[in-house]
Structures are given as C-alpha cells and as structure tokens.
Structure 1
Amino acid sequence: MIRQWIALTSASGLALMSAWAFAAREEIEFFVSVDIPTLNFYVIPSEPDWIHREQVLPWDVNTRKLGGLRRTFDVKHDSSAIEARLESYPHLANGRDSRENINLLVSFNGKELSHHPVPQQVVTAEEARGGARVMLEIKPRADSTYYPGDYYGTVSIIFNVAAPGG
C-alpha cells in the first residue's frame, strides 16, 4: 500500500512539475535575410541597417531650416563606369496643395542626379574597378518654402553600368 501511495504521489508530482515547466514557455520569432551582391557589380549601403527604414530629415525649430541626409555606399564594377538616374522627381509632399511640396536635391558621389531618362556617370571606371566608398546626399533645394504639416516622399535611384568604353 505504501509503495502504491509513493508511486501515485511521485507520478502526480512529476505531472505537476512537467505542467509547471511548460507554463514558463517563451517563443521568439524574427526574420533573417541577406542580400549577397555579385562581386563584379554592386552599389550597396556601407551601413545596411538604415536603408529599409524611413529616414526622417531633421527640422531645426530655431532657424526654421530643414536638414539633409548623408549616407555612404560601397560601389564596384569590374570593367566600366557606374551610371545613375532618379526614377521620378524627388520631393516631399503633405497631401494637400502641390505648391507646398518640398523639392529635394539628390546627389551621389558629388554629382546631382536628375529624373531625365538618360543616366549620368556617377563613378568613373577607375574608381569602380578598385571599389570605392561614395556619399549619397539628399537635401532640400535652396528655393524651398516650408509650410506646417507632415511630409512624406520616396527617393528611387536606378544604378546601371555604363556601356564599355563609355
């Protein structure tokens, strides 16, 4: 009888302990990704943690001026220069009057980009062949007027390699 009682209480204790152990469970789920560029052509942010997040341009309340954004990119191409163009005219909009848009100036490696369909050279063949770290800069155009509100926009840059010899 004592053996049965010990077996029953031991089994009950184990069941309670295992139920208690499962009650203290935690699960964590997160996404992992990687973008591995080809070794003969790439244009990638030097600090990859910012590119997929919204970038907030700094507003200085005292001077009533809008600041810009500066980030570096690593670039490389084995045999020719790298060209770039904007997919559309860069601006910030508040969703109200288009006359209140804040027009942006976008430059890459010190060269102002345009949304003209013909791309322009932004990295020489010599720079690209050895690989380089270059600056992307986005800032408001000098003629911008600022109105109160929340503004949003997208800057889309298309990079491609120049034709050989170009």
Structure 2
Amino acid sequence: MKQLDISDLQTMDFYLKSLPSRNSEFSDYNLSIIFQYSGHLCSGDFILFKNGLVKKELFDNFTGNVELTFENDKNTKEIEELKLLGLKDNTPASNELSFHLNSSSRFPKDTIYLQKNLLLAIESLNKKNELPSNVYNVQFLDNKSIPTLPVINVTEDDIKFISILTKKINPSD
C-alpha cells in the first residue's frame, strides 16, 4: 500500500461522507479517517462536505467572517476521477466501489473490506485535488485533554493514514 497524500485523504473523506446517503446500510453511521499527527492518534475532516458537495472556507481577515463556497470540478480532480471510476465496470476497484455504493448486502461493520477496496481504488487514480491542505475538527483520540482543533494546516510529512472508523450515530439503539 502506498503512503496516502493529502489529496488521497481528501478523496477518501469525500467517499466516506457520501456513502451513507447512497447505501442504506451505512445511513446510521459516521465514517471517518483515523490518522497519526504529531505522534497522536486523531480523527478529523479532510474536506468540508455539505449537501453532497465539497465546500471551502474563505476567511475575511478584516471582518473575521467565514464564508463557505462550493468547490468546482477543477479543484477536486481526484474526487471527480473517483466518481468516474465508480461508473466503470471493467476494473476490480470500480466493481467493489460500485458494490458498496449500490448494495445493501454489506454491513457497516465490514469496514476492513471497504477500506481495502477504497485504498485499491485510490491507488489507481492519477489526478490530484487542488484544495487547501487542512484538516478540520481535529480530535485527539489518545489524549482527551487536548481540545478539538477547528482547523490545522498539514503537510505530507505531518500525517499518516491509520484506518477508517465506523461510529454509530445514535449508540443507544
């Protein structure tokens, strides 16, 4: 498995965030990326996602306001390439991704199978996103005394992909 770069993690995050709306087996679950950052085990958002679209935060330094704008396809090239891969029927990666998106026979607990096939698909992609190298809503899973950070700017050397986490939205059920 290749080391995932920021663009790969953004693409993976997009897929994980869009999966619950496309496959009812995942509708009661949040799927997130676990990664290592500065020696800590963390989770966070590699993209801002709303209504099926990638959003970008624009900060106004004068007023302090934050505005969310929609990204267009030219900035999300790797994400768009993954979407197209899901429409192809001639590769193992596209068949498996299509299976997760369109089938209700896989259970959310089978994240190892999902992760394996998502990594296979991402390795086959050639394009890169042109989004900020930020991680949003960073939670330190191994040290609860560190508060959630709203945003951190990262480089390829700062983070290492660990796994996909499946968390039930309403654990009392």
TM-score range, shorter-chain basis? Answer: under 0.3
- Structure with greater helix percent: 2
TM-score for both structures, normalised by structure 2: 0.24
1 or 2 for the larger relative contact order (CA 8 Å, sep ≥6)?
2
The TM-score normalised by the length of structure 1 is: 0.25
Larger radius of gyration: 1
